[in-house]
Structure 1
Amino acid sequence: MRLKFIEPLMPTLVDRPPEGGDWIHEVKFDGYRSQMIIDEGGARIFTRRGLDWSSKYRDLAAAAALLNVENAIIDGEIIVLNAAGLSDFAELRKAITRRQHDLYFVAFDLLHLNGHDLCDMALEDRREILEGMIPPDIRIQFSQALPGEASAVYHLVDQAGLEGMVSKRRDSKYRSGPSTSWLKVKCFAVGEFDLLGVEREAGKPAFALMAERGTGRYVGSAFITLNRELRERLWKRVQEHAGPPPQGIKRPATQWVKPGLIGRVKHLRGEEDLRHASLQDFREEP
């Protein structure tokens, strides 16, 4: 019998990790959430939305034979490591097409094993079984829990340059869809972006519209948190550098600027576009 894809449980994004002993904490990897299904037909690997990408992950599907199980459904993340040993989303996309041997499947939950549905079992018990079935030194690895208090774990994750952490209730059952039994907390990064313009409307917060450096690709807006003096200086520079709107972007309340203004933006780490972003400072291109 062929096992069917199970819609994944999706963690809720929160500002800070939960405290107390009811939770386990894991690294939030910067990769593709995936589901590995092993049954009589071999191993298949599905995307978060249920697309069969087994052909893209041939080496990982082959590694599933080393697990020595009749059938199983494993929840995890497909990653590739960069030179610093961190999961790297940009490198992952290249590795899928060019470097299959560099891919890892990091397993963090077990939904089915040898004919038994485990979704009603406590998370801690599911993970214990999962850890025991993964041999060392293969491309499928177990996501170890991080010891210590939540705030200390978050600090270490942030200092290590990781994307964030996921906290999960030890006794939680596996339920598809959004859930507060799993909570994710992301770390922040600070980077420079090209300033496209400033959006100001009466009675509303002001936003800086930002683009990726050197490409002009719009990546989102950043809340302007500057003090009064810097805000006035920014608005003066924007007026002095006024320019036409970029193609494809329609924001009627925006004062667009010519290239040359660079914004320093604090934003969530590991996102393709800006999220929870704020403008910290700005400068003119020398």
Structure 2
Amino acid sequence: MFIPPMLLQYAKNNEPFDGISTFAELKWDGIRLIVSNMDELNLFTKNTNATAKYPELHNPPIPKGTILDGEIVVLDEEGRADFEETNAGFRSSKKRKPVVFMAFDILYHAGIDVTGLPLERRKQLLEETLQETEHYRIVRPIRGSAKDFYKIVCQLGLEGIVIKKKDSRYEKGVRSWSWQKVINYQKAEVYITGYSKKESSWLLGYQDGERIRPIGTMELGITQSARESMWPVFRSFKSGESKDYVYIKPVVRCKVKYRDWYKSGAMRLPVFEEFIV
């Protein structure tokens, strides 16, 4: 049985907050997965049935009639989530590394829909239902301040945290303010080196010694006014083009925030913030 997962909002100004009615937990950097162990086992991402892809998650340590929500991750030697390895394994089974399912919610218990129960109670049922193994683990709320926890997460270079209302019901397929994510973004100053002919994206370059190193494309955060202000630059400083891109001389810099770097040297999920004048 597939259940559309409850989605998160970004916390205001991407800042953590404390409250007696909320708790925080680590945000694992992986792929969302619903483990449905009803009449038969099914592993659902948001868009696909991935049961056959992850045999290490077969025979889950939960009884029939259980549905869990969580994140699959590939862990590195230090126990950190390696998103690039997780994503590569999802795209291709060749040399795929084993995943771990990080369960943070329970949606069905003993064949009964428990999404209407408060999150605190669902967390209790999760603890009672799931026996942790090498490939199945529980994501537990931290004790103490979300603000302090976020500082530690940033110091360790982890993805971020999720702040959840203790009494929140599971809102299927809804992007709810009851769950808010705070992302550990990195910051950088980069050059705009071109734009896509087909998509609303800009090419980026990063100062590496005396050269400008290509670091991929940026789509997020670019406003209409920012695009309009760049058109005179695009026209005046065009340096060439290909089938898909128009290239411009690296004369304009901007500030971006991003998740991290891919092993290829590309910047992961850059978001435009402002031009550097």
Please indicate, yes or no, whether the TM-score normalized by the shorter chain is above 0.5: yes
Q: Which amino acid aligns with 1:23?
A: T
CA distance in 1, matches of 2:221, 2:112: 48
Q: Which residue of 1 aligns with 2:75?
A: 81
Q: Which residue of 1 aligns with 2:145?
A: 149
- Does the Cα contact within 8 Å between 1:76 and 1:107 map onto a contact in 2? yes
Q: Which residue of 2 aligns with 1:228?
A: none
Q: Which residue of 2 aligns with 1:103?
A: 99
- Does the Cα contact within 8 Å between 1:34 and 1:48 map onto a contact in 2? yes
Q: Which residue of 1 aligns with 2:23?
A: 24
CA distance in 1, matches of 2:220, 2:170: 35
- Does the Cα contact within 8 Å between 2:132 and 2:138 map onto a contact in 1? no
1:244 alignment partner, SS class: strand
2:52 alignment partner, SS class: coil
Aligned-residue identity in percent: 25
Q: Which residue of 2 aligns with 1:40?
A: 39
The one of 50, 55, 68 aligned to 2:52: 55
- Alignment of 1:171 with 2:170, yes or no, is no
- Does the Cα contact within 8 Å between 1:32 and 1:47 map onto a contact in 2? yes
Q: 1:257 to 1:276 in 2, by over 3 A?
A: closer
- Does the Cα contact within 8 Å between 2:194 and 2:204 map onto a contact in 1? no
- Does the Cα contact within 8 Å between 2:27 and 2:161 map onto a contact in 1? yes
Any unmatched runs of 5+ in structure 1?
A: 199-207, 224-236, 251-255, 282-286
CA distance in 1, matches of 2:194, 2:96: 41
Any unmatched runs of 5+ in structure 2?
A: 196-200, 207-212, 223-232, 261-266
Q: Tell me by how many angstroms 1:211 deviates.
A: 2.9
User: Where do 1:102-121 residues align within 5 Å?
Assistant: 102-121=98-117
Q: Tell me by how many angstroms 1:85 deviates.
A: 2.5
Q: Which residue of 2 aligns with 1:219?
A: 218
- Does the Cα contact within 8 Å between 1:25 and 1:167 map onto a contact in 2? yes
After alignment, is 25-34 or 78-87 more displaced?
Answer: 78-87
CA distance in 1, matches of 2:205, 2:124: 43
- Does the Cα contact within 8 Å between 1:59 and 1:101 map onto a contact in 2? no
CA distance in 1, matches of 2:108, 2:187: 41
Q: Which amino acid aligns with 2:115?
A: C
User: Where do 1:1-286 residues align within 5 Å?
Assistant: 4-14=1-11, 15-41=14-40, 43-49=41-47, 51-62=48-59, 64=60, 66-67=61-62, 69-96=63-90, 97-99=93-95, 102-176=98-172, 177-190=174-187, 195-197=192-194, 209-211=202-204, 217-220=216-219, 243-245=239-241, 247-249=243-245, 257-258=248-249, 265-269=255-259, 272-275=268-271, 277-278=273-274
Q: 1:170 to 1:218 in 2, by over 3 A?
A: same
Give the superposed CA RMSD: 3.2
Q: Tell me by how many angstroms 1:115 deviates.
A: 1.7
Q: TM-score, normalised by structure 1?
A: 0.73
Q: Deviations over 1:248-272 (max 9, x none)?
A: 357xxxxx534x7796854142684
After alignment, is 160-169 or 189-198 more displaced?
Answer: 189-198
Q: 1:238 to 1:52 in 2, by over 3 A?
A: closer
CA distance in 2, matches of 1:6, 1:138: 25
1:78 alignment partner, SS class: strand
